[in-house]
Amino acid sequence: MENPHPASRSLKRKPEGDLSQDQTDSKGPCISSKIRKKVLHQVSLLNSAASDCATIKRAIYNLSVLAENEDLADTLLDCGAVHALVRHLQLSHAGNDDDDKQNKCYNQGVTEHEQFEVAKGCSLIIELLAIKQEHQDLIVGAGVLPRLVESLKRHKICTISEPLVYLLKRAADAITSLAHENDDIKTRVRREGGIPPLVELLEFNDVKVQRAAARALRTLAFKNDGNKNQIVECNALPTLVLMLGSEDPKLHSEAIGVIGNLVHSSPNIKKDVLLAGALQPVICLLSSCCSESRREAALLLGQFATIDSDCKVHIAQRGAIPPLVDMLKSSDAELQEMSSFALGRLAQDSHNQAGIVQSGGIEPLLKLLDSKKAPVQQNVVFSLYGLADNEDNVVCIIKADGFQRLKTGNFRNQQTAECAVKALKRLEEKTQGRVLKHLIRLMCYPEEKVQRRVVIALAYLCSPRDSKTIFIDNRGLNLLLDMLKSTNVKQKGDASAALHTIAAKAHSSVVSLFELPPRSPSLQMYLGEEYVNNSKLSDVTFLVEGRSFYAHRACLVSSDIFRAMLDGSYREREANNVLIPNIKWDVFELMMRFIYTGTVAVSVDMAKDLLKAADQYLLDGLKRICECAIVQEISLENVVQLYKMAEDFNATSLGNACILFMLEKFDVLSREPWYSTVIHHVLPNISMFFSNLLAKSHPADL
């Protein structure tokens, strides 16, 4: 990434020097006329042929103090400061008297060192003024770049001295400032011949100059393919690679920054960098004391890892994984982002997946799922997606609560959420065979939290054909029921959702459990619709609410109660008129219609009273029809009452539907004060329901 050097990029520096008091007047919509006069005076001194070297140096110093205040940049530009500075950036050429006379701007007797000091000051002011793109374009338009490039070349024709060192540094920093986020100027630097001398200065015998040159190259290489290619063509890579091993943190930070910008979106340069021997030095920088170098190293390794599988393996073999895992634990969000980026790319290779887990990568990755930075989350989920491809890692991920974290994660963008779904799908695909056996064994693990994590994960991940083995034969159901008894609300919620999922997987949907058509009573003969309440051939009459209902004894045998009433030792046996108490006429009519036809349309309004009658007269088929109707109206408000009705009238299907509804709606119902009491009351029936359900869904029982 591009790394702007000047402090003016982010901070307004407090002015220093004899003009600082006057600068306080510059705040507000109008610039102080006093300041403007002082700027014009300093510019006039620079433009005057009569000014001696001391005057010029003093004027440049005064302008540099003013330039430190960003609010005054426009004033300096408007007053012509840049053109005056360009004039003094032009250095005399050693041994070229004609050129000296043509471009002379000093009195005789000015030494080369003094010229360097003046040019250094000019470069500093240019660096400070180039704070906005419009400023950068104006400055470059005044002809600054050729002068700065010429300054960069002075080390080849002049004796090395302290003034020259400072000039080289300031010239490189000025180019960095001018080219920052300005692609046109980056390209112009290349066309003015600025890249070759910067590459040469990487080997200059002063670390400050090396850093400044690297910083400039880093900026010039950022998203500019032409500059990247020329930097590589100038043979910068070997020197940059050597700089990675420098003991100066700032130097190797700049060097790795250059390399990072060179390889970005440039596959061929990536290969050139690796051929130059960069891999091991970059890996070593993962343990640097410099946070920026560590970030850049991790980013660079992630980029290297996209080349091919062999490169991913080589990165891991050379020891990159442990320091990358350590970086995940840092409090620095950028270190977390870059290390998770690198691990995500490395985790897409099967040889590295187990190594990341063995290096302790699972726990810190899972913790970072809660990061507030979307890129960190995205990198972490991508890493877990890769790790889930290895069977040996599935158990570790689930044991560390990775399933639940991926399932319930609050992801900050859609791409991350989709990747989490893919990771869960991979876990599901691997949950069979030896992985499943290992997970089943973990349900007996000494740590209860591990037992809970595993049984919850299995509820979602296992195949329906394995449900009985897991939850009945190996007591997984008991673990879930124990969680329902817990005082921990989260445990209850997890268990409720898991049980509901198990039921849904056992059938195509939960509702289908209760919408199946009722079975026809065995050995039953139906007289048909036309005989309902028909006096023709009637041999018994029921008195309901004072009205007569004509019936036929032969058709009533489907009800054990009617059969006992009419054929047994009851007094109704000999009676022609039988009193039916406590049943409404409409309800009795529907019940009889079912007995005569084997089916009946039941409205929700009639279903509850009809269920009571069907239970009283032991008509199981009619009970199932009523239960199907009542199930449709289960709600948060009536589920407890309907469950009590199911208990009162032995309506097993309705009771099971209420159980599943209470499990599904845990988040809402758990807020009710009665919920815990009801769940404890229902637990035996929950156990029975799931035991029967899973036994029937097992292939051996079908």
Please, are residues 89 and 24 in contact by the beta-carbon 8 Å criterion?
no
Give the integer Cα–Cα distance in Å for 287 and 423.
30
pLDDT given at position 508: 52
C-beta neighbour count of 631 within 10 angstroms: 24
Please, are residues 409 and 369 in contact by the beta-carbon 8 Å criterion?
yes
Closest residue by Cα to residue 32 from 21, 43, 42: 21
Give the integer Cα–Cα distance in Å for 87 and 122.
10
Residues in the chain: 702
Cα angle value 530/533/537 (rounded, 5°): 75
pLDDT given at position 132: 85
Question: What is the separation, in whole angstroms, between the first and last Cα of the chain?
Answer: 63
Backbone angles phi, psi at 549, to 5 degrees: -125, 115
Closest residue by Cα to residue 549 from 592, 605, 508: 592
What is the sign, positive or negative, of the torsion defined by CA atoms of 531, 535, 539, 541?
A: positive
In the chain, list all ranges with CATH 3.30.710.10: 518-598
Please, are residues 6 and 177 in contact by the beta-carbon 8 Å criterion?
yes
Give the integer Cα–Cα distance in Å for 154 and 147.
11
Segment-wise mean pLDDT, segments of 10 residues, the chain, 702 residues = 44 36 47 87 94 94 94 93 94 54 52 93 96 92 96 88 95 97 97 98 96 98 97 98 96 97 94 96 96 96 91 95 97 97 96 95 97 96 97 96 96 96 97 97 95 98 94 96 94 96 75 48 66 86 92 80 67 69 93 89 92 91 92 94 95 94 94 91 94 77 42
Please, are residues 347 and 353 in contact by the beta-carbon 8 Å criterion?
yes
Give the integer Cα–Cα distance in Å for 430 and 416.
21
Closest residue by Cα to residue 89 from 64, 126, 43: 126
What is the sign, positive or negative, of the torsion defined by CA atoms of 655, 659, 664, 668?
A: positive
Cα angle value 127/132/136 (rounded, 5°): 60
The three-state secondary structure class of 579 is strand
pLDDT given at position 537: 82
Give the integer Cα–Cα distance in Å for 179 and 186.
5
Give the integer Cα–Cα distance in Å for 239 and 252.
11
Give the integer Cα–Cα distance in Å for 560 and 616.
10
Q: Which fold has domain 35-91+110-234?
A: Leucine-rich Repeat Variant (1.25.10)
DSSP 518: P
- One-letter amino acid identity for 148? L
Which residues, in sequence order, are CB contacts of 645 under 8 Å at separation 6+?
A: 608, 611, 630, 651, 654
DSSP 530: G
Parallel, antiparallel, or unpaired: how do β-strands 540-544 and 577-579 relate? parallel
Multiple choice CATH, 518-598, 3.30.710.10, 3.30.565.10, 3.30.70.920, 3.40.50.2300: 3.30.710.10
The reported pTM is 0.82
547, β-bridge pairs: 544
Which helix (DSSP H) or strand (DSSP E) does residue 442 occupy?
helix 433-442
- One-letter amino acid identity for 563? R
Tell me the two tokens of residue 560: 């054990």
Tell me the two tokens of residue 161: 């001295």
Give the integer Cα–Cα distance in Å for 567 and 388.
69
The three-state secondary structure class of 544 is strand
Which helix (DSSP H) or strand (DSSP E) does residue 333 occupy?
helix 333-346
In the chain, list all ranges with CATH 1.25.10.10: 35-91+110-234
Please, are residues 209 and 172 in contact by the beta-carbon 8 Å criterion?
yes
